[in-house]
Amino acid sequence: MTTTRLTRYDRSMLRLMNDRRGLAWYATAPRRRLAVAAHVTLTVALGGLMTHFFLAKGEPLWPVAVMAVLLLPWMAATGVINGATRGLLELREHVLDERQSVERSRVLARAHRMTTLLLAAAVIALLAAGLADGAAPKTYAAPLLIAVFVVHWVMPLWVAGLRAQDEPVEDDVLETEAPASAA
């Protein structure tokens, strides 16, 4: 952390992001991968429902109700990933220590490269659809661009969740376990 004075917001967010009560949800790499997979799945489901809502001719309201229901587990998965990364992407830069600041830069660079490739794939898909059917780019451009924007927005969270490391085991825990395993 730098010597910049922390605001009440900074202290509150730092306390929230370092709260270990949810540790069981992200204590191991498989659990973190599961949280990221659940978040990706829920994001895709929400995007699909939103696309259906906007492209459906009758404009039924059931996708909105399902989206409202799916938003709660999506927010919970976001919280799990934020807890696993200790708020790497949510805390302000001056609150992070040097290691976290470097890790944030790595995560953002990797996410940027991935979304650049995704954007290129979206452009190619729209161009290919335009060659096959002239109305396709006009119909699908907005939903596709919104989908790419959403992925661009959450990709750093996914990358950070996948790159998060296990919590270091404290020395006290090792000392109490050593005699039990020796016996």
**Distance, C-alpha 124 to centroid of its chain:** 25
Q: What local confidence, expressed as pLDDT, does residue 109 receive?
A: 96
Q: Where are the domains of the chain?
A: 11-167
Number of CB atoms found within 10 A of residue 101's CB: 16
Q: Is the pLDDT of residue 57 over 50?
A: yes
pLDDT at 29: 92
Q: Is 36 exposed, middle or buried (0-12, 13-18, 19+ CB in 10 A)?
A: buried
Whether the pLDDT of residue 22 is over 80: the answer is yes
pTM of the model: 0.80
**Residue 136 structure tokens:** 């396709």
pLDDT digits (tens, 9 = 90+) for 88-144: 999 999 999 999 999 999 999 999 999 999 989 988 888 887 788 776 677 777 788
Q: Kindly state the average pLDDT of the residues 36-47.
A: 96
Q: How many residues does the chain have?
A: 183
